[in-house]
Structures are given as C-alpha cells and as structure tokens.
A and B are shown apart, each in its own frame.
Chain A
Amino acid sequence: MNEHHIISYRKLTGIWLVLLLLTALTVAITRVELGGYKVLAALTIACAKAGLVIAFFMHMKYEGRLLRWLLFLALLTLAIFIGLTFFDVLYR
C-alpha cells in the first residue's frame, strides 16, 4: 500500500467545484429549447462529470493498467449492448 497516491483535500475540493459548475451548466443548457441536441448536450456533460468522479474521487487516474483496462472493457460491453439494441430499434 506504500506506493499509494494520496490526493490532497485541496484537489478534491477543486474537483467538487468543477462538478457543481458542470451541474449548473447542465441545468442552464436544458432550460433553453435545443430540441434533440438537449439530450446530447446533457449526456455529454454527464459523461464528463462521471469521468471526473472515476478519475479523481475513485482514484482511477492513479491505478495500474489492469484496472483501467477492465474499466474500459466494462464500458465497451455497455456500449455494445446499447449500440446493438439501437441498431435493432432504429432500423426495424
């Protein structure tokens, strides 16, 4: 456990502030009429927020290769599920 990276309180607070800012941005963007782009914009920001939580709060940025690849594999599996389902739903 000695090689473990310690994230300072200041850095964690900084990430939290960015997350709050992104939340405010999502609310602001979705109050405007953007039509279909609203979903895209909101999900893009949500993915950015999720990335910050995983990288810093969950320490993934400081983990080794194995955990990162496994995370990638899990997300890829989810993407394949969603992609194949919509391939069916959209072109039926």
Chain B
Amino acid sequence: MNQTAHKDYFGAKLGMWLFLFTELLLFGGLFLLYAVYLKRYPHEFATAGRQLDWTLGAANTVILLTSSLSVAMAVTAAQRGETRRVMAMIGGTILCAAGFMSIKYFEWSAKIGHGIYPGSEQLKSGPPGESVFFSLYYITTGIHGLHVVIGALLLAWIALKARSGAVNASDYILLENGALYWHLVDLIWIFIFPLYYLVL
C-alpha cells in the first residue's frame, strides 16, 4: 500500500501559462480600446495624459521590475534548497507590492481630489476624449492594481508553504506558478507605463 501522490509538474505549469494567456487577452483588449480612442481623440488624450505624473509612474516601474527580480531569485533559491532565502526574496517582492500600491493610492487620491474620476462633474462637462482617457486609466490601472494585491497575497501564502517545507528543492511548482503570475503583473505595467505616462 505504498501510494505516492501523483504530481504533474508540466501539467501544472501548462495550466498556469494557459491562464496567463487569457490574462494577456484581457489586458490586450484594454490596450486595444486605448489605441482606438487615441486614434480618435489624439489632442484630448495628450491634454489628459500630461496631467499624470510620469515620475510616479517611473518610480512604480522601478519598483515592479525590482519585485520581479526578487521573485525570480526566490525560484532560484528554491531550486537550490535555500529556504531562508526563498522567504526573504518573497518578502522583498511583497514589500515592493506594498510600495507600488501606496504610490498608486496617492496618485488616485490626488486625481480624485481634483475632481477627476469616472462620472465626475468636471469630466462630464469637459471634452469627451478626456473623459474616455481617464475612464480607461482607472479601469486599466484598477484591474492591474487588483492583480498586484492578489499576487502579493498569493506569494505570502507560498512563503508560508516554504517555511513549513511544503515548497522545497524537489517540489517548488507552487512558487514557480506564483512567480509566473507576478511576472505577468510586471509585464502589463511595462506597457501601461509608456502608454499612459510617457507617449502623450
């Protein structure tokens, strides 16, 4: 009666990638909307886009790239069986996630304080192109921010698994898939940053 649990590592990773492809199409749709409306309202998009602070966007870009490095190092650490380092690296990533969300909070609350939010009087009375820009800005960064929060919670749970030994050098698919999800969050931001903060 010696039963070992069946583990399909490749299947687990394949499933994660398939899920990431659906995420790609979700954000791809949002970027497509952005592109079509940029074509229709180039001047309004430029006026609206210049109201975003690109230095905050750049800071968040550096934070997310660093968080990705950290979680990639966590995978390497797991493969080498360095459990303490796995937890430290995941901790670094979660810290970066907190920093990212704080900056996002200040950005959003400043904009909302200036009366710029979907359905606000100021946007309703302004040109339609600017209203479209900020709606897309809130939807895209909002869904992205939701992914940051979910990713951070997921990684925190995986760090606990690493501490208890459930994630180790011979079984780290959970960490690998969590890291893949986190890198997707970074990937999406790599496109959000130039499109919303820089090119307009």
| Chain A residues close to B by CB (< 8 Å) | 1, 4, 6-9, 12-13, 15-16, 19-20, 23, 26-27, 30, 38-39, 42-43, 45-46, 49-50, 53-54, 56-59, 66-67, 70-71, 74-75, 77-78, 81-82, 85-86, 89-90
Is B35 in contact with A74, judged by CB distance below 8 angstroms?
no
How many angstroms from the CA of A44 to the CA of B121 in the assembled complex? 37
| Chain B residues close to A by CB (< 8 Å) | 9, 13-14, 17-18, 21, 24-25, 28-29, 32, 35-36, 39, 54, 58, 61-62, 65-66, 68-69, 72-73, 75-76, 79-80, 170-173, 176, 179-180, 183, 186-187, 190-191, 193-195, 198-199
Is B35 in contact with A86, judged by CB distance below 8 angstroms?
yes
Is B28 in contact with A1, judged by CB distance below 8 angstroms?
no
Is B68 in contact with A53, judged by CB distance below 8 angstroms?
yes
Return the chain B residue nearest A39 by Cβ: B199
Is B198 in contact with A12, judged by CB distance below 8 angstroms?
no
How many angstroms from the CA of A15 to the CA of B65 in the assembled complex? 10
Q: Write 21 A-B pairs (CB below 8 A) sorted by A numbering.
A: A1-B9, A1-B171, A12-B76, A16-B69, A19-B65, A23-B58, A23-B62, A26-B198, A42-B195, A42-B198, A43-B195, A46-B193, A46-B194, A49-B190, A57-B72, A59-B176, A75-B24, A81-B25, A82-B35, A89-B36, A90-B39
Is B9 in contact with A13, judged by CB distance below 8 angstroms?
no
Q: What residues of chain B lie closer than 8 Å to A19, measured between beta carbons?
A: 65
Contact of B24 among A23, A57, A74 (CB under 8 A): A74
Q: What residues of chain B lie closer than 8 Å to A89, measured between beta carbons?
A: 36, 39
Is A53 in contact with B66, judged by CB distance below 8 angstroms?
no
Q: What residues of chain A lie closer than 8 Å to B187, measured between beta carbons?
A: 50, 53-54
Contact of B65 among A16, A58, A67, A74 (CB under 8 A): A16
How many angstroms from the CA of A23 to the CA of B194 in the assembled complex? 9
Q: What residues of chain A lie closer than 8 Å to B66, measured between beta carbons?
A: 16
Q: List the 4 shortest-distance A-B pairs measured between CB atoms, nearest first.
A: A42-B194, A74-B21, A30-B198, A16-B69
Q: What residues of chain B lie closer than 8 Å to A39, measured between beta carbons?
A: 199
Q: What residues of chain B lie closer than 8 Å to A1, measured between beta carbons?
A: 9, 170-173
Contact of A30 among B9, B39, B72, B199 (CB under 8 A): B199
Q: What residues of chain A lie closer than 8 Å to B32, measured between beta carbons?
A: 81-82, 85
Q: What residues of chain B lie closer than 8 Å to A38, measured between beta carbons?
A: 198-199
Q: What residues of chain A lie closer than 8 Å to B35, measured between beta carbons?
A: 82, 86
Smallest CB separation, A53 vs chain B (Å): 6
Return the chain B residue nearest A63 by Cβ: B13
